[in-house]
Chains A and B, each alone.
Chain A
Amino acid sequence: MSTLLDQQGRAAEVLRRFSRTTAAMLLLVVVAGSVALEVASSGSFLEGPSVRVFLQYLATPILIGLAQMVALCVGQLNLAVGALGGFTACLTGVLMADHGVPAVIAVLVGLLTATAVGLVTGIVIVATQINGFIVTLATMTILLGAQYRLVGTRTVDGYSPTLRDLGTAAPLDTPLVFVTAIVAAGLLGAFMYRTVAGRRLLAAGGNPLAARLSGISTDRQIVLAHTLSGLLVGVAAVTATASLPGVNHSVGGDWLLPSFAAPIIGGVALTGGSIAVFGTVLAAFVTRLIDAARAQFSLDPSWVNLLIGLVVLGTVAGGHLHQTRLAKSASSEASPQPEGAR
């Protein structure tokens, strides 16, 4: 019996801890938002087709949010998320449409290219000691040029029907691209929380000096983070190529801000050392809800950016207030009993 009580107690403790997290708050927002939209749309929001569209367009924000999160976790950032995604999508499309490369190979080339660009970015940052902001700003500009060089002003379409079918397939109203994003998030979570390499990333981001003195090469972690970020952007680009009607120079153009919004709203510290896979996914969900609400109420598109901006500010300010309160209550708990007295 006591074990049952124990288990209940532990479950209650886990629940209590969870209820204080950003993810819990976001989950609440997601549920409340969905219900509100369901009511406002008189029941059409949760019907099959509209759920499918909703999830279809959720894949990209999740993947680019995760790509940015990985860079943030070692105290870096990746301004080239959108440019790399656009370039990779165009590269894959051009290979298939203009050069007749089979879809499997084109997709693999796309993923490898994005990963390689991430790897090179990381190596340049470590080797030159130049701030990652500047290096990724430069790669962003280079990649934008490369993307334009590839496609110019035309839209590449009519490539691999198989890939397009996969990109729009949605068994049980669950689009495959969304499943891809969720699987990527799951794998990333397992990698970050459970493997040696993931932990080293977090350690190096949280306290570089202590990490070095504990036998962790911080340089390698920076390279690894950018490589992983590149790979995730590659996955985002492939899902975009598969699900969009065609690719052109504007793909990726509006990815940069959402890539920051998702992890920041999701509870990732900009200073490095923390990640929030679940939080980032939920935050992408919230931004998508705002978009859906705009469509529902036929609001002006500018409202979406305004709202997302306010949500970002609000969560950051709210999180800051929460931390300060926690710190205060912790110190008032700790100070009356110095260690010797315990």
Chain B
Amino acid sequence: MNSVLLECRDLVKVFPGVRALDGVGLRLTAGSVHALLGENGAGKSTLIKVLTGVHAPDGGTLAWEGEPVQLRSPLEATRTGIGVVHQERNLIPGFSVAENITLQKPPSRRGLVDYAAMTEPAAGCLTELGVDLAPDRPVRELSVAQQQLVEIAKALYTESRVLLLDEPTASLSPEETERLFEVIRRLAERGACVVFVSHKLEEVFAVCDTVTVLRDGKSVLESSPLADHSHDDIVSLMVGRAHAATELHPRPVDRSAAPALELDGVATAGGHRDISLAVRPGEIVGLYGLVGAGRSELVKAVLGLGRITAGEVRVHGRTARISSPRQALHEFGIGYVTENRKEEGVFLEQPIVRNITVTVWRRLARAFGFVPARKERETAQGLVERLGIRIAGLAQNAGELSGGNQQKVSLAKWLAADTRLLVIDEPTVGVDVRTKRAFHELIWELAHDGLPILLISSDLAEMVTLADRIVVMTDHRVRGEVDNDRDYDRMSGRIIRLIHDRDAVRS
């Protein structure tokens, strides 16, 4: 049995409005490759941030080689021996490979950087990884995969014994991925522990030996040998059976009605091929898939933020060639509640009233484009009450609200505009259970009133609760469609099979 490097117990991290970590345990042993799995919002990134000293935990303990340890800053984490390679590259493009590798602790003589003494340790790190790269090459000339290897070499240089790799294969080709796996195995042989975060289960099974699964901020499977679990086990642990479909009163859907949105053999410049689906008035159609399946990108292409290269989009029976979200809203009445509310959904430094009425200023405006303040407030107030948004006052800035309430504000602006088709993208990521429940009821009510809704979600329970039909997407393609009978076990089984069939085809 190998020695334990880092162990954490009962980690808790609370953000306003949500318990991002709610009792997470993890044991990282020397010489192992440890998979860290979980859906979006399960707490993986928060856990990584706690382990690398970015966030201080609100509860729980951390121990390094059996000794209690506190990681108060990323520098302390590095000194302890924990390195991380983030999804986004963190290299300095104008510097050479050697300069980047030795960046945190450049060899120096009398306060001046010693360039001659830099090449040797950098080259040593690269050789140890079995990577053939000239240390004097500027990083900007390197491919994404090579840059990633430089980042790993950088972690090696600082003598990291625990190395966290966050979605390292997201932008790698199969050959590059295989080379990365060799490097990972080599690191483990040297006695390091590599933590591998990925959504691609086949890769996890190819390279990892231990697994931890997070769900809703809890570790539902803790540092367990991967060989004891099947593919299906892991997926059901990730998506969870515990809080299965909540009951909502029955809602009739007219399947014979003309579709409000129809995609017919659509292909996009973003790589989507042959996508067909339809959403009818009063119907909630779920678009399910794991992260990276291309669901948000598909919607953005339909809204004119990407290029559609083939096929046809019809909205309310009319052929729609939409070139901007502006046109989508004003001509076709399409609203899009975005996934990243802080970046794309709300104006954090603007008052709530403006955030809600941004879509209807033109309609409210009087002569010379002046917007009457009273009418604007009334419009916003009505929606604040209807959606139960908790605010101190309409003049409060949206940035001061909790995540759930921000999400409601970003939904409210589309309701203000009387949209005739609504796309809702991951509505409940990072919101607590009560707000989630309220959101589900809200979406349900909107559909009940006849609004066609396309719902994107990676939360299978949410899909089974809300959707009338579920379209399953992987790899920018539609893999199939299931009628939802709201039986969670049966639905999750069928959906997971649809996702797996494609894995079988690929491997």
Contacts and interface: CB of A to CB of B under 8 A. Distances in A.
Interface of A: 190, 194-197, 199-200, 202-203, 206-207, 209-217, 273-274, 330-331, 334-335, 338-340, 342
B412 to A, nearest CB: 12
Given A207-B348, A338-B17, 9 more contacts: A203-B347, A203-B350, A206-B348, A207-B346, A215-B325, A215-B328, A215-B329, A273-B347, A274-B349
Q: Is the interface of A mostly helix, strand, loop or mixed?
A: helix
A270 to B, nearest CB: 13
Contacts of B373: 194
Interface residues of B, number: 46
Interface string B340-360: 000111111110001000110
A206 B350 contact: yes
A216 B360 CA distance: 11
A200 B328 contact: no
Contacts of A215: 325-326, 328-330, 359
Interface string B1-22: 0000000000000111111000
B252 interface: no
Contacts of A331: 16
The 9 closest A-B pairs by CB, nearest first: A215-B329, A339-B17, A195-B369, A334-B16, A196-B361, A215-B326, A196-B369, A339-B402, A340-B432
Interface of B: 14-19, 303, 305, 324-326, 328-330, 336, 338, 343-350, 354, 358-359, 361-362, 365, 368-371, 373, 390, 400, 402, 404-405, 413, 431-435
A342 B326 contact: no
A273 B358 CA distance: 14
A206 to B, nearest CB: 5
B163 to A, nearest CB: 31
Contacts, number: 104
Nearest to A13: B393
Q: Which one of A212, A217, A340 has the highest number of Cβ atoms from chain B below 10 Å of its Cβ?
A: A340
A338 B20 CA distance: 11
A338 B368 CA distance: 44
B344 A209 contact: yes
19 contacts: A194-B371, A195-B365, A195-B370, A203-B347, A203-B350, A203-B358, A210-B338, A211-B358, A213-B305, A213-B345, A214-B325, A214-B329, A215-B326, A215-B359, A217-B324, A330-B400, A335-B14, A338-B17, A339-B431
B424 to A, nearest CB: 13
B366 to A, nearest CB: 10
Contacts of A211: 347, 358
Nearest to B328: A215
A5 B434 CA distance: 37
B348 A196 contact: no
B60 to A, nearest CB: 17
Given A199-B354, A203-B358, A274-B349, A213 B336 contact: yes
